[in-house]
């Protein structure tokens, strides 16, 4: 009865989750050899105008044989199919489980013929959270994902997953089967199986390299006769019937793919070349201007900040399909630490030709944001707004850091933030916690319900005010942001030493208390920032400060505030548009 209650509670929580959509996201991937401390990291920004920022938590649980799990579409909340539950699940904090396995995603859509959603099946969000509950490392995650795609229809569009554990980082790309042009005799000839839910390719990022994906499929050609063949004959098998997955747990295996990833394309008439020349992206998600400029360009922006030789890909990033194509991964010219990775998620194309602070759309206060829609037309010509990594509609984002030299519950940290990545604070949530801080807790407010104790609403209050006088106010915000994050990194280092010597019972309390304290500190400092910014920048003025306090007159009143002029170029723009009306006569 206890297990049944746990199961029913899990289903109820899933069904009550707010409607959400994160089909415009950004993921960066960092291997052990690319980081200063030898940790692996992936990042994820869940960007949607209707996604509420909160920290999901799924408790580990045991289930009796025959228990069924109701799959709920992560975007819409719609019930899909029921699948058998496993006997034991792992606990999951956000997108990281208790074994330091982390998974992120970006949706790329893919071919129009494959865009229609099917009834039932498993959606991309459920694939993530079900896999995190069932796998302990990246290779197990690939087996679990492949198993779901073998046994059930795939409900969503084309998807790229980032997968990391303390040792390896993988990119896994899939697309569902929708197009069905193959006659029975041709299917037999091609050894084509309609029961599989999708086709996919997974590649391990070489150690010392970094990668990324942002709503555009990234895997082109891939090894089809390579290291996995060397592992044959070693007697290792999995539950999945696949010549590649049979050997995935051998360290020589660095690329696996579904048996039909090429034959399905041939059956549909999308590819007729040599197997060795087959490109997943070019077949299932051909490049378009928007796929490059609005998507791959975000990956370019990160590459450009970690390697000084990336400028050669700027023409490509700006949408030129004839320019040299950006590779799937690059070697950075320096090793990155966790704080740099946080800051790599803060980008508006500064320092590139697409710098969003440099055109008239930024207004007089250099605002690097453009309100939607992104595509627009004037006098018969089409134009775009840039889609940067930092964007106003982010629900939540994280840096998942896996540190293999520590026990799993301590080694994994989900540096979690809500709202716009540029103005968020990444707060350390250990993967071993068993409860989430109130400010991040599910059910504490939603997209149409304000909560004064919700981090999402507090950060949106601050950020939306900062947008009104950006170039001045963002400086004040960054001082608090940097102070908190640098403090957290130092606190984590001290806490690690204490936590690794704790007993198991002590550790749970320590982890919960630590992450809760950091969240409360963040809420306290951000509330003070909220009040400070309102007082300082009210009504377009800027109050003067002296010795850390707002300046007053000798009688205690407010000193006359600064009233900075607009930049000269903005005045000229006003004159050009309206000068004949406002000129003094």
Per-residue confidence band for 339, with pLDDT thresholds at 50, 70 and 90:
very high
What gap in Å lies between CA 441 and CA 569, rounded to an integer?
46
Q: Which two tokens stand for residue 234?
A: 């070693």
- What is the model's pLDDT at position 461? 98
Assign 170 a pLDDT band (cuts: 50, 70, 90). Answer: very high
For the ranges 166-170, 225-229, 238-242, which has the lowest average pLDDT?
A: 238-242
- Asked whether the predicted pLDDT for residue 96 surpasses 50, the reply is yes
Neighbours of 274 (CB within 10 A): 8
Section 539-555 average pLDDT: 94
**Lookup: tokens for 18:** 């707010």
Task: Supply the pLDDT for residue 182.
Answer: 55
- According to DSSP, the β-strands at 169-176 and 198-204 are antiparallel
pLDDT for the residue numbered 529: 98
Tens digits of residue pLDDT in 308-337: 999 999 999 999 999 999 999 999 999 999
In angstroms, the Cα distances linking 295 to 16, 108, 201 are 32, 9, 20
Q: Could you report the per-residue pLDDT of 37-51, keeping only the tens digit for each?
A: 999 999 999 999 999
pLDDT higher than 70, residue 11: no
pLDDT band at 21 (very low <50, low <70, confident <90, very high): very low
Mean pLDDT, range 228-241, rounded to an integer: 42
Using the CB atoms, write b or e for 163-183: b if 16+ within 10 Å.
bbbbbbbbbbbbbbbbbeebe
Tell whether the model's pLDDT for residue 236 goes beyond 80: no
Q: Which pLDDT band holds residue 287 (cuts at 50, 70, 90)?
A: very high
What's the average model confidence in pLDDT over 241-254?
Answer: 76
Instruction: Tell me which residue has tokens 């690059």.
Output: 330
Check whether 271 has a pLDDT greater than 70: yes
pLDDT digits (tens, 9 = 90+) for 408-445: 999 999 999 999 999 999 999 999 999 999 999 999 99
Give the number of other CB atoms < 10 A from CB of residue 216.
24
- Distance CA(313)–CA(316), nearest Å, equals 5
Residue 30 has pLDDT above 80, yes or no: yes
Confidence of residue 241 (pLDDT cuts 50, 70, 90): very low
Chain position carrying tokens 């540096």: 415
Provide the token pair at 575: 């004159």
Provide the pLDDT for residue 118.
77
Rounded to two decimals, the pTM is 0.92
Residues 21-33: what's their mean pLDDT? Answer: 85
- Distance CA(400)–CA(385), nearest Å, equals 30
User: Mean pLDDT, to the nearest integer, of 492-519?
Assistant: 95
**Which pLDDT band, with edges at 50, 70 and 90, does 189 fall under?**
low
Q: Is 86 helix (H, G, I), strand (E, B) or coil?
A: coil
For residue 234, pLDDT over 80 is answered with no
The pLDDT, as a whole number, for residue 246 is 79
- pLDDT, position 119: 80
């Amino acid at each position: 009865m206890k297990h049944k209650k746990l199961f029913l509670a899990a289903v109820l929580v899933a069904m009550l989750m707010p409607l959400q959509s994160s089909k415009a996201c950004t993921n960066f991937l960092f291997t052990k050899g690319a980081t200063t401390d030898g940790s692996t990291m992936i990042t994820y920004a869940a960007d949607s105008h209707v996604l509420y920022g909160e920290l999901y938590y799924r408790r580990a649980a045991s289930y009796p044989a025959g228990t069924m799990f109701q799959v709920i579409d992560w975007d819409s909340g719609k019930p899909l199919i029921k699948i058998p539950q496993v006997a034991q699940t792992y606990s999951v904090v956000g997108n990281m489980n208790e074994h330091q396995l982390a998974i992120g995603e970006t949706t790329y859509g893919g071919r129009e013929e494959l865009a229609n959603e099917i009834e039932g099946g498993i959606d991309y969000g459920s694939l993530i959270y079900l896999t995190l509950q069932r796998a302990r490392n990246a290779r197990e995650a690939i087996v679990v994902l492949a198993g779901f795609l073998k046994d059930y229809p795939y409900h969503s569009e084309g998807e790229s997953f980032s997968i990391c554990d303390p040792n390896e980082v993988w990119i896994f790309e899939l697309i569902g089967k929708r197009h069905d042009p193959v006659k029975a005799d041709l299917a037999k000839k091609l050894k084509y199986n309609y029961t599989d839910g999708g086709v996919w390719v997974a590649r391990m990022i070489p150690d010392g390299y970094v990668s990324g994906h942002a709503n555009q499929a990234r895997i082109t050609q891939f090894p089809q006769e390579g290291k996995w063949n060397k592992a044959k004959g070693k007697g290792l098998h999995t539950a999945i019937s696949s010549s590649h997955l049979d050997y995935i747990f051998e360290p020589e295996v660095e690329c696996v793919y579904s048996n039909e990833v090429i034959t399905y394309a041939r059956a549909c008439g999308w590819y007729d070349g040599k197997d060795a020349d087959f490109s997943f992206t070019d077949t299932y998600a051909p490049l378009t201007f928007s796929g490059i400029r609005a998507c791959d360009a975000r990956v370019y922006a990160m590459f450009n900040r970690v390697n000084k030789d990336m400028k050669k890909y700027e023409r490509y990033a700006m949408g030129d399909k004839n320019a040299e194509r950006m590779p799937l991964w690059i070697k950075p010219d320096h090793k990155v630490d966790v704080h740099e990775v946080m800051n790599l998620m803060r980008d508006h194309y500064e320092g590139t030709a697409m710098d969003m602070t440099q055109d008239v759309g930024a207004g007089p206060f250099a605002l690097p944001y453009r309100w939607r829609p992104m595509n627009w037309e004037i006098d018969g010509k089409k134009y775009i707004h840039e889609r940067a990594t930092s964007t106003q509609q982010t629900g939540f984002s994280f840096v998942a850091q896996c540190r293999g030299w520590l026990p799993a519950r301590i080694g994994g940290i989900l540096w979690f933030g809500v709202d716009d990545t540029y103005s968020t604070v990444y707060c350390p949530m250990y993967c071993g916690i068993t409860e989430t801080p109130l400010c991040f807790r599910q059910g504490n407010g939603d997209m149409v319900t304000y909560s004064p104790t919700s981090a999402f609403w507090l950060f949106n209050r601050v950020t939306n005010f900062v947008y009104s006088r950006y170039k001045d106010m963002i400086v004040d915000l960054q001082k608090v942001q940097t102070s908190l994050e640098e403090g957290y990194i130092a606190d984590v280092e001290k806490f690690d030493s204490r936590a690794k010597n704790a007993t198991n019972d002590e550790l749970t309390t320590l982890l919960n208390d630590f992450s809760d304290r950091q969240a409360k500190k963040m809420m306290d400092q951000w509330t003070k920032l909220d009040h400070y910014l309102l007082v300082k920048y009210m009504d377009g003025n800027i109050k003067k400060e002296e010795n850390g306090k707002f300046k007053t007159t000798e009688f205690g009143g407010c000193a006359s505030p600064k009233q900075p002029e607009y930049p000269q170029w903005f005045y000229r723009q006003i004159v050009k548009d309206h000068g004949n009306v406002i000129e003094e006569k």
